[in-house]
Structure 1
Amino acid sequence: MTMRLPRVVTGWLALLSGVLAAAGLVVIVVYCFATDGPHARYLAVALTTGMASFLVGCLAGFLFGIPRVVSTGALRLTQDGKVSDDPKPDAVTGQFTPSTNLSEISDWLTKLLLGAGLVQLGSLARLAGVLVHAIAQGISTTTTGTAPVSAGATAMAGAILVTYVVLGFLDGYVVTTLWYGRRLSEMQV
């Protein structure tokens, strides 16, 4: 029963993510064709923004979800009987210890991104506002930047960014944690 729970959770989260992504796609298409102007351009900007946001979220979810190898701290005996704490392949049993390079890089990048993000929180909010405004210009009739962008276009741009970043993060995190973690544990057995 405990081995089945992650598959059920993964299945339901994948279904929920797919349904939300499809619903978001329907909302984007309805918005793009309900707005006056070049519908194909609106759709292209909105879909490209959604896909890019989803991929950024997936990358962040991957970085946060990489399983860590838990070290027991036990010292290993080498073939000559000497004590070594070097995680090299164990010559006695023929088993290999998993490489922790990817998890160390992930841990380092996570700390770096969180640290830089917290220090630059004020400027990140300003940059997010500029990004939302630029996307809103791409999905509205103002292309010169002199006319004010409608509140609906700004709200839609913000919703596209937030929705697809969150969905991508959840997908990346769940897949990395459950599926990739399960594959790593199967390789160690």
Structure 2
Amino acid sequence: MARRVPGDGAPESRPPQPFGNGVIFAGLVWSLVAVAAASMYLLGGQGARLVGLAVLVLFASAAIGAIAGFLFGVPKSVPYVPREGVAPPPYIPNSNLEQVSDWLTKIIIGVGLVEIRQVAAILRKIATRLGDAFDNSSGTSDTTNTSAAFALTLILGGLLISFVLTYMWVRTRLFQVLAEFGRPPT
């Protein structure tokens, strides 16, 4: 039997991986870290409150980025075209999620482009208020506004990183799962 060389074009054979287990595990870890951060913020001392608040801000912005990454990354299914002499598939994939994804993506981009100045002002306001919360949690007074910059970095970093990772996951792994379940049984 010939040995497979990576990149030679031959399909790689690997055992099927359960799709749901990884998603459930990631959700559990995400939830446990969020509960720990909330507990640190509510029950901890000054340092623990600061870390708890930072993690909660990061998680909240990452959740928004993940939702956007999912909406932008939903793959399109190929429409079914009946052919002569070929049995129809057992089912045809539902395209409601694709339609909602397209609709929301267009709305988000349209509103974002029209209201770009207001988005920047809202981000600045949120960062300033979170910066004040970081100052109150640490027990210091920030005259240089570095706490607001820290908050803005957490927000934008969480949004962008989770957007990219979720988008890539949806375009690769979710696409593989949908393609596998869309094949007719052999």
1:85-164 alignment runs, 5 A limit = 92-141=87-136, 150-164=144-158
Partners of 2:48 and 2:69 in 1: how far apart?
31
Tell me which of the two structures has the higher relative contact order, counting C-alpha pairs closer than 8 angstroms and 6 or more residues apart: 1
Q: 1:142 to 1:149 in 2, by over 3 A?
A: farther
Partner of 1:70: 78
Q: 1:38 to 1:177 in 2, by over 3 A?
A: same
Shift of 1:120: 1.1
Partner of 1:165: 159
- Is 2:47 the counterpart of 1:52? no
CA RMSD of aligned residues (A): 2.6
Partner of 2:69: 61
Q: Give secondary structure in 2 for the equivalent of 1:140.
A: helix
Contact 2:65 2:162 in 1 (8 A): yes
Contact 2:131 2:147 in 1 (8 A): yes
Partner of 2:47: 39
Q: Give secondary structure in 2 for the equivalent of 1:71.
A: coil
Shift of 1:95: 2.7
Identity of paired residues, percent?
25
Q: 1:100 to 1:38 in 2, by over 3 A?
A: same
Code of the residue aligned with 2:60 in structure 1: it is: A
Code of the residue aligned with 2:131 in structure 1: it is: A
Contact 1:140 1:150 in 2 (8 A): no
Partners of 1:97 and 1:149 in 2: how far apart?
61
Structure 2 residues not aligned, in runs of 5+: 1-6, 13-44
Contact 1:140 1:153 in 2 (8 A): yes
Partner of 2:171: 177
**1:136-185: per-residue Cα shift (whole Å, max 9, x none)?**
11111489xxx765432122111111111111101210111100000111
Partners of 1:93 and 1:69 in 2: how far apart?
16
Partners of 1:51 and 1:166 in 2: how far apart?
12
**1:86-142: per-residue Cα shift (whole Å, max 9, x none)?**
xxxx9x434322111101100000001111111111111110100111111111148
**1:46-83: per-residue Cα shift (whole Å, max 9, x none)?**
111001011111100000000011337x4x379xxxxx
Contact 1:45 1:135 in 2 (8 A): no
